[in-house]
Structure 1
C-alpha cells in the first residue's frame, strides 16, 4: 500500500507574523495594569530614576511601558492591630493592645514609597506607634491605665503619632486602646480597691438619703405643730359654741328619732338623747 503524505505549507511570511503576534501579546500583557477599588499606583522606571514621584495613578485600567513596573498599594483607610509591652510611670510593665487607623496620602504615594519603601507600615508606622505608646503610657499609673484614663490616653497617643509622622506622607486618623493587661496581682488589687470605693459611695448615698428623709420628717412635724398651735389659738369658747349649735341644727333635720335638750351640756351645748 502506498503511504499518503500530506504536506502543510505556511504562507510565505506566516511564521514571522505568528511570532510577531506572540511578542505583541506578551508586550501587551506586561504593559497593562488594573488598579482596584481603593488602590493607587506609582511607576517604577527601570531605565530612569526609579520611582516616579510626580504622578499617582487611580483606579481602573492603566497602560505602562513594558520595561517599567507599576507598584500598586491601598490608599483607602486601613487598620493595623498591635500589642506593645510598655512601662507605666512607676516602672511596672504592662501590655497594651490597640488598633491604629491610617491612610497614605494619595497624591504623595510615590514620595512615601521612594523614601520609606514599599513596606512603609513596618518601616515607618510601627516604630511611630510604639514610640508614642511608650511615651504616653509612661506618664500614668497602672490604675489610671486600667480604669478612667482610656479616652485621654488614646488621644495623647494619636497626638504623639501625628507629630512623629508630620510631613511623612502617611496620615493617622484614630487610635483605639482595646485592652490593658496588668499582672494578676496588680489587677486584683485595683479591682478590689475600685469595689471598695463603689461600696463606700453607695453607703454615702444611702446615708445622705436617710438624712434628707429625717430632715423632711422633722420639717413636716414642725409644720404640723405650728398649724395645730395656730388652730388651737383660734378656737375660742364662742366659736366652739357656734359650731356646736350649727351641728345641732343639722342633726335636727335628720329623720331619725332623737331628743335634744338645749343648754344642758357642758358649756351650754345641746345634749342629744335617744339617737337611733
Structure 2
C-alpha cells in the first residue's frame, strides 16, 4: 500500500513546527510498511490533486497567508472538487482560515477559497494558550497550542470538537467550539505540531485516506503508542491542574 501527501507551500506555512505533522504521518505509515510519497507544492507550481490522498496546509503569518491565498485561488476549483469528492485534508491555523469564504487581514477583507462554509474576522487581542478539546473522531482528548488573532465562525459545517480546558479559546473565544470537520476535511487552530501530540488524530486521517483508495478491507496494524499517549496525558493533566489552580485562587479571593 502507498499514500501520496501534498504539502502545500511548506516554505511559507510552517509556524510552531507544523511541518512535524508531515513527519508524523510518514513515520506512522513507515512503521506499518505503508509507502508514503510527499509532494511539496511551491508558489508558481501547477496544482494537480488527481493522485493525492492527503493534503496538508500549515499556518503562516498574515503576509504569507496573503501570498498563499493568491496561489490557492488559482486552484480553487481543483481544491473544491477534491474536498467534495471526499479527499482528506488537514489545515492548521492560517491554512484553516484560508479554506473559508474570507478573512479579515488588518482592515482588508481577503477572499478565501470558499471550500468550507466559514468566515474569519479580526478580533481585539490574540487568543493564546494550551487547549484541550473533546472530539468525535477519537477517544483521547485532542491537545495543542493556539495563537491566533482571527475569530472563526462556522456556517453549514460541524466543529472539530468542544473546548474542555479552562483558558482555551477555540474558534472565536465565544461559542466554546474548536476547528471544523467537513466531509474528510479537518481544520484547526491547534499547533504544536498537532499530530505527534495526538496519534489518534493522525491515524484517523491515514485510515480515512487508505479507505478512500483501497476500500475498508485493508490491514492497518495497531502501534505501541505508550510514549505518545503519555505525552498526551501529561498535557491533559497540566490543563486540568490549571483549572484546579484557578478555582482555588478564585475561592481564596472570595473568602
Superposition TM-score tier, normalisation by shorter sequence: under 0.3
Bigger relative contact order, structure 1 or 2 (CA pairs below 8 A, ≥6 apart): 2
**Structure ranking higher in helix proportion:** 1
Which has the larger share of strand? Answer: 2
When normalised by structure 1's length, the TM-score is 0.19
Answer with 1 or 2: which has the greater Rg: 1
